[in-house]
Amino acid sequence: MLTVAAVAAVAAAVSSCAGASAPKSSAVGSSAVSQCNASNIRLVDSLRSLSNPYHAVWTSGSKAFVKSLGLPSSDYKLLLNEGDSAKQIAQVRTLLATGNDHCTAISVDPNENSDTEAIVTMVQKAGAYVTVYWNKNANLWPWNGYNHWVSFINFDGHISGYQIAKELFKSMGNKGNIVAIQGLLDNLTSQQRYLGLQKALKETPGVKMLGQQTGNWDRTQALTLMKTYLAKYPGEINGVWAANDNMALGALQALKGAGLAGKVPVVGIDAVPESLQDIKAGNVGYVATVASDAYWQGGAALQLSYQAMMGKLNVNTLPHAKRAFYASTILITKENIKKYALAPKPADYMNDWNNPFNRFVSAIAPGK
Amino acid sequence: MAEPTPQVPVQLGDSAALARRGTQQRKRWRETALVWMPLGVLVLLVGIVSTKNPSFLSLGSIQALTVEAAPLLFLALGQTLVIMIGGIDLSVATLASFASVLLALWLPSLGLAAVLAVLAITTTAGGIQGYVHAKTQVPSFVVTLSGMGIFGSLGLIVSGASTIAVTAKLGWIGWMTGMLGPIPRDPLVALVVVSVIAACLRWLPIGRYLLAIGNSELTALLSGVRAARVRVFAFAVSGLSAGLAATLLVSELQSGAPSLLNALLLPTIAAVVVGGTAITGGSGGLSRTVVGVLIISVLRVGIPVMGIDPSYEQLVYGAVIIAAVSLTIDRSKFAVLK
Amino acid sequence: MTVNVGVSAAPARSPWQGRAAEFARTRGSLIALIVLVVAFTAGNPRFVSLQNIHSIADAAAIVAVVAVGQTFVILMGAIDLSVEGVMSVSGVTISLLVANDRNSLDLGLLAIPVVLALGALIGFAAGVANTRLRIPSFMATLGFWAIGLGAATVLFGGSPPIIEQQSFLDIGLGHIFGFTKISYIALAVVLFAWVLQRYTRFGRYAYVIGGDESVARLSGINVDRYKILIFTFSGTMFALASILATSELGVGDANTGTGYLFTAITAVVIGGTLLSGGRGGIMQTLIGSLVIAVIVNGMILVGINPLAQQGIEGAIILLAVALTGWPLRRPLRVIK
Amino acid sequence: MSAAAQLEQTGILPEDAPVLRVEGVTKDFPGVRALDDVTLELRRHEVLGLVGENGAGKSTLLKVLAGVTPSDSGRIVVRGAPATYHNVAGAQRTGIGMVFQDQALIPNVTVAENIMLGAEGGAVRRGLYRWRELNRRAQVQLDKIKARVSPGALTESLSFAERQLVELAKVLGIEERIDAEPIVLLDEPTTVLEREEIETLFAQIERLRTCASVIFVSHRLDEVLGVSDRVYVMRDGKCVAELDPKTSDVHELHLIMVGRGLSESYYQEAEQREPEPAEPRLSVQGLTLPRHYENVSFDVLPGEVMGIAGVQGSGREDVCRTLFGALAQKSGQILLDGRPARLASPAEAVQAGIGYVPADRRSEGIIGQMSVAENMTLAHIWRVLRGLVIDRGAEDRLAREWIDRLAIKVPSHRAQAGNLSGGNQQKLSLAKWLVSDRLKVLVLDHPTRGLDVGAKAEVYALVRQLSDRGLAMVLLSDTLEETIALSHRIIVMKDGEIVDRLDAPASAKPTQVAVVEKMV
């Protein structure tokens, strides 16, 4: 059962998690209930593109969830912005202008921090409901006048970055040199993950970081970067820390090319199928990754917005802790790989979808 | 088109006169067709989208469309001038992102001064590119390509590679967004600015010079036109429009980020060309660009609401662009087509 | 983006000026390359270590292949923006055709010619759009950029097909004297392209069309045919580049092409090929590709702040192009 | 139809049968009927002269014959068989080649490639160029016209005249290419050639007579009469007369061409008034630009026309470019009305009151896409500014005024300049300067190049008026005759230096011989 894994993974969170387990859906019914039915309900994802595995898995999760509600697949709408903020906002705006907004539940992965405020404001005006992942401006909070913005869910980059770093160091015997490959430099998550790495480095005096550069989340760039690292520090690199799996896999290719695969351990984040396979195989030195569990994300956010829309969840009475929180991530290593190597089955997720707060880890409080 | 002078037909004989009238009518028809073609394409697209999803014609939806079009229109405004003289500005979107960062950083402390400062900076930045391009005789493509990199880096460094939220004094730019009765403000602001520039091109010598340089720079030079200055002007306006686009977006998003508008570069160029301005320069104008921007905007927000499988959107976009351009461009404008 | 020099008004350049200009245009990039190498070596001696030279070669290889295709297009005064589209769709396609974890087609290395044909087809289509529909190459290829990306997304279907064809992966991973096979293939491509440029109508007519298209028509040359051929060739080169990149990545990535468009064009321009067409050539493009690879690699080796890197790259490029073009400057010279 | 078929045809053709017959060919362009039911024939081994004013349809006819532009109706019969080609390549296969007026050469490839362009034939084996063979074949063509040009040279490095010769060599290539005798169309091949080059050309035409048939178009009527066996005169797109050169002369020819006689005072020499001695308008002192010209000094009085004679490379073009700021001088100075003028750019030259009428008006004189009025005010927009704003009304008035004063034939002042005939375009590129009352000096760079007699006469008249208006003019001309006739004084340049100065008062014009011997 996933929740258990989550608990095991993030020991620190146990108490809070237990304390915050599924809310009794006894909130006052809203006017929306009656008028919303299969014909006019819209469950909407606004994501970057289908050309990256992460969002692809996300959508499959969303689709499975919609199905689980017994709604026709035509009720599910997917908006792709191809990394264009203006486009993402425009798409949401048009969406709200072309349908019954009181029966529209939205889940957004904002392209930039900046997009969030514009989107939630529009949604608030239109009377739809939205749940937001990953990105928002530090000073923007759902409880500041947005009772149609159900929750902001993030995954603590500090923790993930820290966890994989620790695993990496462990596999290196806590000594030696590493190189780091960062994500987009102007991306908050990427920065958090890097801070996590630095925390781990402080704790582990034996390990030294030779260099850190950006691979812009991109596999090819990471590949070239790793080659350059290998040339810059021949024979000195004992480990590779990458801010996501995509880049970790790119670096791994470079190591393969240099005949170092398996000798130099690699870690990443996101748990894309490929890295899971590598961890499972265990022969190429892929030590660990972290799952924010895109499949779950797809369903969970829609669920929150949907419940609010149907009046099953009263946003106004929801405690701040539940309107902006870090959800649990799962550290995946050789030990627990078996469970995650295979494709996700909706059945495993129903519980965590029906009780979206199951994966609550900690509140994101202002000034934190 | 001109009516024939009295003496010419006499000289040519009746048959010729007839022939002329025929050919002239054909030519006139072609020209009118070309003027209205972009508009036709726009109507066609809207028609197709709204048959798939009638609510696309709802007031709200149309408002949404025009709001989306506003920043694009600003960027396309500068791009149009540059393309009119046969150049291209690849830096305009990145410059706008950079501007958004500066504005977000300065607005709280400086207020209006921040807005003016940012506009001044982007205008200068554009002008400098034009100057370098004119003086070093390096193609605008290369100059602005490097500009793209430079402004990108500046944006990252100045912002410390993060989004800057505007905490105070938003009022100075806030008025640009929101509604004025049923009409959204953003497109209004954009339209006003565009009309002003358009008026300048129509009534001031600079407009002549732009076209002259686009058509035959050598003749312009030999007629004493200071081409370098005109270049600087075109790129400066491009910079200014980048600044304005940034201002608009910051006022809408209440924050700026080092890659906020980067993705708008290609849509901008596409808009200008779809509008019917020849990529080789020497023709076209802002009115055409306005239509072009609307076409592109319809594609950007229209395709998703048509209920096409999202994974096919890019395919459709590309195909429609080609189709649209093949209808709207005036092929008589380029002697040889590259 | 066109250059024309007035027949009577533009002052005739005196011979030595001409030679200086010619020298700068053809050798300038080489000088820039040398200067950069010296500078970076000063910054970090490791720069000239054999291993680093290998990684520079690999980095330059794929760019060079793309740039070779782009060179002929630019020589005739056009431009091909479809690079990233073609590369992306080719990357996904090849990974689906060789042995992979998604399907059981497994054409083996036979997949390579198939994908090359795909690239050729897209190039051909772009060429037709350019010559028959009479759409400027800039816009036509812009459209095919999107189309390529779209097709890639559709084929990609959510997760990257993992390649299990060892013989194919070996292209990217196998080494000969330290250099990956990619480098050798790229070199072969460059040499082949040089022969095309010097000894075939395909190459010579690229210059002719770039020199004066209407005259070419007057001389009874089937210009459109050669234009289409050249776009077809560039498409094929982009596909090849994508195949190499994919063999290196080991998976079909729907973003294989990301970043290659501007990099390749920059390589061509730095080499001294004029965007206006008619001037330049393959060998210069090769040097241009090396310059880019050296800049990117060198900045990392001397440890320049990641935030500043793209800016510095841009500045260096502008500087290089401006300096190599300096002697070409003339009053009344028209550059767009 | 195939070359082989034509061979049969040629085989059975009687000696005097026409190799080319044009039957009722008609061609319409937007706004004008360029060819109106033209019928003519070209006999074997003859040189056929074709004359007529600009816009009479000569060039159009040649273009139709060369497969550049299709005709609307009528047919062309080559060696007794109706021609089916509809492009240049086809025409060449049929044996028809043309030397184009505006040069048809690729600047950035070698001379050899240009000569063999599109007909590399055996020089390309299995798709691969054999450069030595290509150059050899090109050399053969160049030798025919004794052109001292290396096949390996880059075309753009050649002088304009040299390029013209390469052009001719390119066409002569047809001889070898097809198995029938070629038909060579020469569209004003002599316009830019220097004296001795013209001689070689005519020698070449003589040679061609023995192995080909030639249609020769030129505005220099004496040339045409000298070289042709028969002469067709065209007017308003029709063939209006066929003459025998031996029995007709320039005057008769001109009479038929323009419908009016060639006035005795063709150059209006009677109109030439000697300028009163005065402070020189333009004074050039010790102008030097290494490798271009050395220590050039001369004065031009108000109302004076200063002709500069010299062969290609004499440096006279460069001097003019310097005067107009298109080329910077190293040392020396230029005075306007006694005050030193800084002319670092054309813009500054215009500011200072210097105008420049370029030889290549299409690409340097006018902007085809813009209206006549816009072209006129381009250089002096301030003439029609009210404050900062263009006063369209004023612009229209100004344009109309000058259209009338120069008798420019144009449907309307808002018509596109590109649609005007050559002569009218030239008038326009003059008007561009005349609209300014601040104009002091006018540089005329081959002002009558490619114009027909009628248009030329008008330009000459104009020049006289301008000198009456007190303008100082510097004149470069294609023909010595023109230079001598128009100028008050002439300086002769050679190898970048002034070698002689001659006075040319209306009463006592120097002979061409006197000038030529100094030039070469």
With contact defined as beta carbons under 8 Å apart, do B154 and B121 qualify?
no
pLDDT value of position A24: 36
Candidates 3.40.50, 1.10.3470, 2.60.120, 1.10.10; CATH matching B37-333: 1.10.3470
Place D31 in a pLDDT band, splitting at 50, 70 and 90: low
CB contact under 8 A, A185 and B161: yes
CATH class of A157-291: alpha beta
Place B124 in a pLDDT band, splitting at 50, 70 and 90: very high
Of B65, B254, B260, the CB nearest to A85: B260
pLDDT value of position A5: 40
Name the least confident of A114-123, A190-199, A259-268, D175-184: D175-184
ipTM of the complex: 0.85
Residue C259 region, left (φ>0) first, then alpha (ψ -120 to 50), else beta? left
Report the neighbours of A using a cutoff of 3 or more CB pairs below 8 angstroms. B, C
Place B154 in a pLDDT band, splitting at 50, 70 and 90: very high
Q: What is the CA radius of gyration of chain A?
A: 21
Average pLDDT of the segment spanning B287-305: 92
Q: Mean pLDDT in chain B?
A: 87
The CATH number of the domain where D487 resides is what? 3.40.50.300
Is the pLDDT at C106 greater than 70? The verdict is: yes
Q: Please list every residue in chain C whose beta carbon sits closer than 8 Å to the beta carbon of residue A225.
A: 300
Q: Taking CA atoms, what residue in C is nearest to D313?
A: C12
Place D218 in a pLDDT band, splitting at 50, 70 and 90: confident
Q: How many CB pairs under 8 A join B and D?
A: 113
Return the C-alpha torsion angle B285, B287, B288, B292, nearest 10: 130
pLDDT digits (tens, 9 = 90+) for D266-293: 677 777 888 888 889 999 999 998 888 9
Average pLDDT of the segment spanning B47-60: 91
pLDDT digits (tens, 9 = 90+) for A162-176: 999 999 999 999 999
In a domain, D359, yes or no: no
Place C22 in a pLDDT band, splitting at 50, 70 and 90: confident
Is the pLDDT at C241 greater than 90? The verdict is: yes
CB contact under 8 A, B280 and C85: no
pLDDT value of position C229: 97
For D184, phi then psi, to 5°, come to: -105, 125
CB contact under 8 A, B218 and C310: no
Place A28 in a pLDDT band, splitting at 50, 70 and 90: very low
Smallest CA–CA distance, residue A342 to chain C, in Å, is: 14
Name the least confident of C103-107, C128-132, D57-61: D57-61
Q: How many CB pairs under 8 A join B and C?
A: 185
Q: Please list every residue in chain C whose beta carbon sits closer than 8 Å to the beta carbon of residue A274.
A: 159-160, 162, 251
Average pLDDT of the segment spanning B312-329: 90
In a domain, D331, yes or no: yes
Is the pLDDT at A15 greater than 70? The verdict is: no
Smallest CA–CA distance, residue B54 to chain A, in Å, is: 8
Is the pLDDT at B21 greater than 80? The verdict is: no
| Residue D136: CB atoms within 10 Å | 13
pLDDT value of position A161: 96
Read off the tokens for D292.
């271009």
Note whether D90 and D183 are same-domain residues.
yes
CATH architecture for segment(s) C16-334: Orthogonal Bundle (1.10)
pLDDT value of position C3: 32
pLDDT value of position D16: 66
Place B156 in a pLDDT band, splitting at 50, 70 and 90: very high
Domain end position, chosen among D233, D258, D283: D258
pLDDT digits (tens, 9 = 90+) for A247-286: 999 999 999 988 899 999 999 999 888 899 899 999 999 9
Place D156 in a pLDDT band, splitting at 50, 70 and 90: confident
CB contact under 8 A, B156 and A186: yes
Q: Tell me the DSSP string of D337-401.
A: TTEE---SSHHHHHHHTEEEE-S-IIIII--TTSBHHHHHHSTTGGGGEETTEE-HHHHHHHHHH
Is the pLDDT at C320 greater than 50? The verdict is: yes
Total residues found in chain A within this entry: 368
Q: Taking CA atoms, what residue in C is nearest to A250?
A: C249
Average pLDDT of the segment spanning B165-179: 84
More confident residue, D303 or D15: D303
CB neighbour burial string for A277-306, b if at least 16 within 10 angstroms, e if fewer? ebbbeeebbbbbbbbbbbbbbbbbbbbbbb
CB contact under 8 A, C59 and A224: yes
Q: Please list every residue in chain B whose beta carbon sits closer than 8 Å to the beta carbon of residue D415.
A: 2
Place D15 in a pLDDT band, splitting at 50, 70 and 90: low
Smallest CA–CA distance, residue A215 to chain C, in Å, is: 10
CB contact under 8 A, B313 and C150: yes
Place B4 in a pLDDT band, splitting at 50, 70 and 90: very low
For β-strands A207-214 and A176-182, DSSP reports them as parallel
For the domain covering A2-155+294-329+346-355, report its CATH number: 3.40.50.2300
Q: Is chain D touching chain B, with at least 3 CB–CB pairs below 8 Å? A: yes
The number of helix segments (H) and strand segments (E) in chain B equals 13, 4
Q: Where are the domains of chain C?
A: 16-334
Is the pLDDT at A3 greater than 50? The verdict is: no
Is the pLDDT at B115 greater than 50? The verdict is: yes
Distances (CA, A) of D19 to C181, D188, D207: 63, 22, 18
The candidate with the shortest Cα–Cα distance to B292, out of B147, B148, B194, B189, is B194
Q: Tell me the DSSP string of C108-151.
A: GGGHHHHHHHHHHHHHHHHHHHHHTS---HHHHHHHHHHHHHHH
Place D28 in a pLDDT band, splitting at 50, 70 and 90: confident
Name the least confident of A119-133, B133-147, C10-24: C10-24
CB contact under 8 A, A232 and C256: no
Q: Where are the domains of chain B?
A: 37-333
pLDDT value of position B100: 96
pLDDT value of position B109: 92
Report the neighbours of C using a cutoff of 3 or more CB pairs below 8 angstroms. A, B, D
Fold identical between A2-155+294-329+346-355 and A157-291? yes
More confident residue, D81 or C36: C36
Place C283 in a pLDDT band, splitting at 50, 70 and 90: very high
Of C6, C18, C221, the CB nearest to D118: C221
pLDDT digits (tens, 9 = 90+) for A59-97: 999 999 999 999 999 999 999 998 899 999 999 999 999
Place D177 in a pLDDT band, splitting at 50, 70 and 90: confident
Place D256 in a pLDDT band, splitting at 50, 70 and 90: confident
Euclidean distance between the first and the last CA atom of chain C, given in angstroms as a whole number: 4
> Residue D465, class by beta-carbon neighbours within 10 Å (0-12 exposed, 13-18 middle, 19+ buried)?
middle
Smallest CA–CA distance, residue C169 to chain B, in Å, is: 28
Q: Please list every residue in chain B whose beta carbon sits closer than 8 Å to the beta carbon of residue A52.
A: none
Residue A72 touches chain B, beta carbons under 8 Å: no
pLDDT value of position D133: 94
Which of A81, A106, A114 would you mutate first to test chain B, the one with the most B CBs within 10 A? A114
pLDDT digits (tens, 9 = 90+) for A203-242: 999 999 999 999 988 888 899 999 999 999 999 999 999 9
Is the pLDDT at D10 greater than 70? The verdict is: no
Is the pLDDT at B17 greater than 70? The verdict is: no
Which of C7, C17, C26, C229 would you mutate first to test chain D, the one with the most D CBs within 10 A? C7
- Name the B residues in 144-173 with CB < 8 Å from any C CB: 145-154, 156-157, 161
Domain span including residue D386: 367-437
Q: Is chain A touching chain D, with at least 3 CB–CB pairs below 8 Å? A: no
Read off the tokens for C277.
């067409």
Place C324 in a pLDDT band, splitting at 50, 70 and 90: confident
Note whether D8 and D38 are same-domain residues.
yes
Residue A140 region, left (φ>0) first, then alpha (ψ -120 to 50), else beta? beta
Name the least confident of D9-23, D58-72, D184-198, D402-416: D9-23
For β-strands D128-129 and D124-125, DSSP reports them as antiparallel
Place B114 in a pLDDT band, splitting at 50, 70 and 90: very high
pLDDT digits (tens, 9 = 90+) for B186-226: 999 999 999 999 999 999 999 999 999 998 888 999 999 99
CB contact under 8 A, B136 and C138: no
More confident residue, D199 or A332: A332
Q: Please list every residue in chain A whose beta carbon sits closer than 8 Å to the beta carbon of residue C296.
A: 224
More confident residue, D378 or C28: D378
The candidate with the shortest Cα–Cα distance to D355, out of D326, D333, D383, is D326
With contact defined as beta carbons under 8 Å apart, do A232 and C40 qualify?
no
> Residue A167, class by beta-carbon neighbours within 10 Å (0-12 exposed, 13-18 middle, 19+ buried)?
buried
The candidate with the shortest Cα–Cα distance to A129, out of A220, A42, A259, A223, is A42
Average pLDDT of the segment spanning D426-436: 91
Note whether D450 and D320 are same-domain residues.
yes
Q: Taking CA atoms, what residue in B is nearest to D33?
A: B16
Q: Where are the domains of chain A?
A: 2-155+294-329+346-355, 157-291
Note whether D268 and D308 are same-domain residues.
yes
pLDDT > 90 in chain B, percent: 64
pLDDT value of position B15: 45
pLDDT value of position B128: 97
Q: Mean pLDDT in chain C?
A: 89
With contact defined as beta carbons under 8 Å apart, do D443 and D474 qualify?
yes
Q: Mean pLDDT in chain A?
A: 87
Residue B59 touches chain D, beta carbons under 8 Å: no
Note whether D433 and D445 are same-domain residues.
no
pLDDT value of position D101: 66
Q: Please list every residue in chain A whose beta carbon sits closer than 8 Å to the beta carbon of residue C158.
A: 50, 53, 56-57, 59-60
Show which residues on chain D lie within 8 Å of chain C, measured between beta carbons: 68, 87-92, 100, 104-109, 113, 117-120, 124, 127-129, 157, 160, 291-292, 317-318, 321, 325-328, 345-346, 356, 358-360, 363-364, 445-446
Average pLDDT of the segment spanning D395-416: 90
Q: Please list every residue in chain B whose beta carbon sits closer than 8 Å to the beta carbon of residue C335.
A: 133, 137-139
